[in-house]
Amino acid sequence: MGQITLQGVQKSFGPVHIIKGADLEIADGSFVVFVGPSGCGKTTLLRLIAGLEDVTGGSILIDGKNVVDTPPAKRGLSMVFQSYALYPHMSVRGNIGFGLKMAGLSKDETNRKVEAAAATLNLTPYLDRKPRELSGGQRQRVAIGRAIVREPKAFLFDEPLSNLDAALRVQMRIEVTRLQKQLGTTAIYVTHDQVEAMTMADKIVVLNGGKIEQYGSPLELYERPANLFVAGFIGSPKMNFVTGENAAQKGAATIGVRPEHIKIERDGAGGWPGTIAVAEHLGSDTFLYVDAGPLGMLTARYIGELSLHAGDRVSLVPDPARIHRFDASGNALRN
């Protein structure tokens, strides 16, 4: 079991208020991702759950029990650090087995479990190596092995893949997701890579400036962002925002439309006219950055190849059904 509940969790470092009251309900077995810009408090929130920092206020419940006064060792969670944090003087076997040794398991039992975990992660040939004799990806797997072998109530990951190269990252992303589903253990995963967030998460927590902006499934956040921040943060390239008269016509202070929901017309009269500043041709997609005069720079995406180039005049027509409306304080308006 691994149900985690945050109730009004706050954290200050001295006079600086970092986490400003977080409420969250994480269901057993789900994969929850914390995303947000750098410095928004993702790591801090994760460390509060782990018990590596003490809360300033509020409570953290694991399976219904308040753990704010429980030391990290007794919370039954395991953590994978961004730096891997392997014990440099221990072999891979020693690293993975350390938690079991601390729990007082017998040598045989420890070995059996360590070998099973190593087999799952393709680490068997490296069991007797020291961490410095491993590649980055292998070290990462050792860190994950150390986390899974203890059969914790939940895994906590702090940007575990950010030190890997792009190809390995994609591969590990899939492995981590598969492993989590297979084990059925609750996982909290911190990242600022929104592709990781969208692909791995059952639910995403968007944090900004120490506050939870929205909590929901990836598609909910994409389709119904609660405010301007979430709308701009989720989705790549970013959502286009238009203010002024065009927005007022729709009864909003700001309207937003995603690049993939804009139709590109070569010389149509309707829509928003502009001149292409930059055209990116990826083969699979074409991205146009259009200078739309008073509306500012707008981004449009076309699936496939579109033979338009910088300097060409186009007209951008937003899909009326997929326009997001926001009020003056930035909150989404629902129809």
Partner 1 sequence: MARKSTTQRVVVSTIGAWFFGFLIFFPILWMVLASFKTELEAFAIPPSFLFFHWTTENYATVQERSDYLLHAMNSIIIAGGSTLIALLIAIPAAWSMAFSPTKRTKDILLWMLSTKMMPPVGVLVPIYLIYKSFGLLDSRIGLVFILCLGNLPIVIWMLFTYFKEIPRDILEAARMDGATIGRELVYVLTPMAIPGLASTMLLNLILAWNEAFWTLNLSTSNAAPLTTFIASYSSPEGLFWAKLSAASTLAIAPILVLGWFSQKQLVRGLTFGAVK
Ligand X SMILES: Nc1ncnc2c1ncn2[C@@H]1O[C@H](COP(=O)(O)OP(=O)(O)OP(=O)(O)O)[C@@H](O)[C@H]1O
Q: Where do contacts with ligand X occur on this chain (CB under 6 A)?
A: 13, 16, 18, 36, 38-44, 192
**Residue among 54 and 280 whose Cβ is closer to ligand X:** 54
Smallest separation (angstroms) from ligand X to the CB of 230: 16
Smallest separation (angstroms) from partner 1 to the CB of 185: 15
301 closest CA partner among 258, 257, 259, 239: 259
Smallest separation (angstroms) from Mg ion to the CB of 42: 5
Task: Tell me which of ligand X, Mg ion, partner 1, none is bound by residue 137, counting a contact when its beta carbon lies within the kind-specific cut-off of 5 to 8 angstroms.
Answer: none
**Residue among 230 and 306 whose Cβ is closer to ligand X:** 230
Smallest separation (angstroms) from partner 1 to the CB of 102: 4
Rule CB under 5 A: say whether 95 interacts with Mg ion. no
**Residue among 24 and 148 whose Cβ is closer to ligand X:** 24
Q: Which two tokens stand for residue 331?
A: 């909150």
Smallest separation (angstroms) from partner 1 to the CB of 327: 43
Smallest separation (angstroms) from ligand X to the CB of 18: 4
**Is the previous residue joined to 218 through a cis bond, with omega within 30 degrees of 0?**
no
- The amino acid occupying position 244 is G
**Residue among 50 and 231 whose Cβ is closer to partner 1:** 50
Over the window 138 to 157, marking each residue x when it contacts Mg ion by CB under 5 A and - when it does not, the resulting string is: --------------------
CA distances from 196 to 166, 169, 192 (A): 12, 9, 8
Alpha carbon 271 to chain centroid, angstroms: 34
Close Cβ partners of 197 (under 8 Å, ≥ 6 residues apart):
33, 35, 191, 204, 218, 234
Tell me the C-alpha distance between 134 and 137, whole Å: 8
Tell me the C-alpha distance between 204 and 218, whole Å: 6
**Residue among 43 and 138 whose Cβ is closer to Mg ion:** 43
**Residue among 90 and 333 whose Cβ is closer to partner 1:** 90
Tell me the C-alpha distance between 205 and 191, whole Å: 11
List residues near partner 1 by CB under 8 A: 50, 52, 71-74, 77-79, 81, 83, 85-89, 98-99, 102-103, 146, 150
Helix, strand, coil % over all residues of the chain, rounded to 5: 30, 35, 35
Task: Tell me which of ligand X, Mg ion, partner 1, none is bound by residue 50, counting a contact when its beta carbon lies within the kind-specific cut-off of 5 to 8 angstroms.
Answer: partner 1
CA distances from 115 to 109, 112, 143, 260, 271 (A): 10, 5, 14, 47, 63
Smallest separation (angstroms) from partner 1 to the CB of 129: 17
Residues 5-64 close enough to bind Mg ion by CB under 5 A: 43
Interaction site with Mg ion (CB under 5 A): 43
